[in-house]
Amino acid sequence: MTRSYTGRRHADRRPAGVAVTVLALTALTAAGCSSQSSSSSSAPPSATVGTPAGARASGTPFVVGAMGTFTGVASGSTADGKTVFQDWVDATNAAGGINGHPVKAIILDDQNSPSTALTNAEQLVRQDHVQVIFDLSDNLESSFAKVVDAAKVPVLGQSESAVFGTDPNFYSTGTTVEPLIWGELKAASLAKVSKIGALYCAEIASCAETVPLFTSLGPTVGVSLAYSAKVSSTASSYTAQCLGAKDAGATGVTIGAASDVALRVAQSCAAQGYKPTYVSTAGEMTTPWLQQPAVNGAVGDVQDVPWFDDSIPATKAMQAAFAKYSPGLTSNAAFGATATIGWAAGTVFAAVAKSAGLAPSSSQTAVIAALDTVKDDTFGGLTPPLTYTAGKAAQVPCSFVVGISGGKWTEPIGLKTICMPGM
């Protein structure tokens, strides 16, 4: 892979004060047992986040919530988010917890249903009294935002939802929507795509919301929208959409749908002799893409560090946790960019809690105040540069570029980031 492109900022900057989180997690091979339950508060002795090496996490736990789309129509790209987040909990507790306290996570499945997401949020806020919620859902934030905002429970994570970037209570730990789409188009331009076809899921209304962004942002990077159409996850053929994009002269195609649906579309297009460059953002690229010749040469951008990277201490620790607690995870069909958002979000919380000296008794107001101290931080290289400001919704303008070549994942510009100008 090449590493010649220079982004506006660099993803491997590691400000003082947060590297301890990464270093502590490297001790995870020394202790701990895997747990696949929906919560975990075990804390074997080991090096800890925010306490001396060898100390034992004890006492009351940090109680946190996690909400995600682990089943349902979009779960082909998001199902493994639960496993990855639980791995973060297990690895953190095996390394001594946070400030000597274990983490207890209550993880709930929204089943890709807005009403279920609302019910889950109400439970976490009113029954479980969590300090923070980790968002691993598929664009359901608008269904529960009022509940968490009223309770002032901060939400960490990222999804292609406008709530991240407009609601100050939602702390995006990865690229926000508009710059993520800009980054996808920038990645397309790096692959010499000048005309793109945008296909988007028929089942979820918000899938269509990105199409106007292709129209408005494309010209800034020399890419024009040539064609757009819906695709259904239950369709037996996508010939009409493939021929529509081909006839419109699209040399690249982006498919805003679950990973398995995107692959079926690509196979359908290949059967028609149409082999564009596939351009992706976030969750579409998962393990099965490596075995499908139709998408070889694909390129795209992702919100957090590429899920397959193991070149820096932060990602080495993440990959070691996957191997220890969930052997075989990285071969799963749903394993990809969105799976690791929870890991990044957990790391952000742990680092902030350590820096501010938070405890399980700390109020949500104290957690928010601690989050608002984050300035231009990449948390050991796991995230693009993040800055949070009190009372202001956070925009995250930078993303990472990934691709496929010869059946292998690639980082076309290394771990440098591309950043949308003017943000």
Which pLDDT value is given to residue 259?
83
| Residue 380 CB partners (closer than 8 Å, separation 6+) | 14, 18, 19, 21, 22, 312, 313, 314, 347
pLDDT at 282 over 90: no
Q: What is the mean pLDDT of the chain?
A: 86
Percentage of residues of the chain with pLDDT beyond 90? 72
Sign of CA dihedral 169, 40, 310, 355: positive
Question: CB-based burial of residue 229 (10 Å sphere; 0-12 exposed, 13-18 middle, 19+ buried)?
Answer: middle
**Rounded mean pLDDT of 120-133?**
97
3-state secondary structure the chain: CCCCCCCCCECCCCCCCCHHHHHHHHHHHHCCCCCCCCCCCCCCCCCEECECCCCCCCCCCEEEEEEECCCCCCHHHHCCHHHHHHHHHHHHHHCCCECCECEEEEEEECCCCHHHHHHHHHHHHHHCCCCCEEEECCCCHHHHHHHHHHHCCCEEECCCCCCCCCCCCEEECCCCHHHHHHHHHHHHHHCCCCEEEEEEECCCHHHHHHHHHHHHHHHHHCCEEEEEEEECCCCCCCHHHHHHHHHCCCCEEEEECCHHHHHHHHHHHHHCCCCCEEEEEHHHCEHHHHHCHHHCCCEEEECCCCCCCCCCHHHHHHHHHHHHHCCCHHHCCCCEHHHHHHHHHHHHHHHHHHHHCCCCCCCHHHHHHHHCCCCCECHHHCCCCECCECCECCCCCEEEEEEEECCEEECCCCCEEEECCCC
Q: Which fold has domain 19-175+306-397?
A: Rossmann fold (3.40.50)
Pair 197, 227: CB distance under 8 Å: yes
* Each residue's pLDDT tens digit, 6-29: 222 333 333 333 333 333 333 333
* pLDDT for the residue 45: 28
Q: 92 burial class (0-12, 13-18, 19+ CB within 10 angstroms)? A: buried
The β-bridge relationship of strands 103-109 and 62-68 is parallel
The answer to whether the CB of 64 falls within 8 A of the CB of 86 is no
Residue bearing the bigger pLDDT, 75 or 56? 75
- Above pLDDT 70, what percent of the chain? 85
14-46 burial, b if ≥16 CB within 10 A, otherwise e?
beeebbbbbbbbbbbeeebeebeeebbbbbbbb
> Over the stretch 166-177, which tens digit does the pLDDT of each residue have?
999 999 999 999
Q: pLDDT digit string (tens) for 27-45?
A: 333 333 333 334 333 333 2
What are the tens digits of pLDDT across the range 229-258?
A: 999 999 999 999 999 999 999 999 999 888
pLDDT attached to residue 50: 40
- Examine the pLDDT at 56 and tell me if it is beyond 80: no
pLDDT at 270: 97
- Average pLDDT on 66-81 reads 80
pLDDT tens readout for residues 312-359: 999 999 999 999 999 999 998 888 888 889 999 999 999 999 999 999
Look at 405 and 260; give whichever has higher pLDDT: 405
Candidates 42, 66, 89, 162; CA nearest to 325 is 89
Output the pLDDT for position 281. Answer: 81
Q: Name the segment(s) of the chain with CATH classification 3.40.50.2300.
A: 19-175+306-397, 178-302
pTM (two decimals): 0.84
Q: What is the pLDDT of residue 378?
A: 98
pLDDT in tens, 206-223: 788 889 999 999 999 999
* CATH code of the region 178-302: 3.40.50.2300
Burial classification of residue 420, based on how many CB atoms lie within 10 Å of its CB (0-12 exposed, 13-18 middle, 19 or more buried): buried
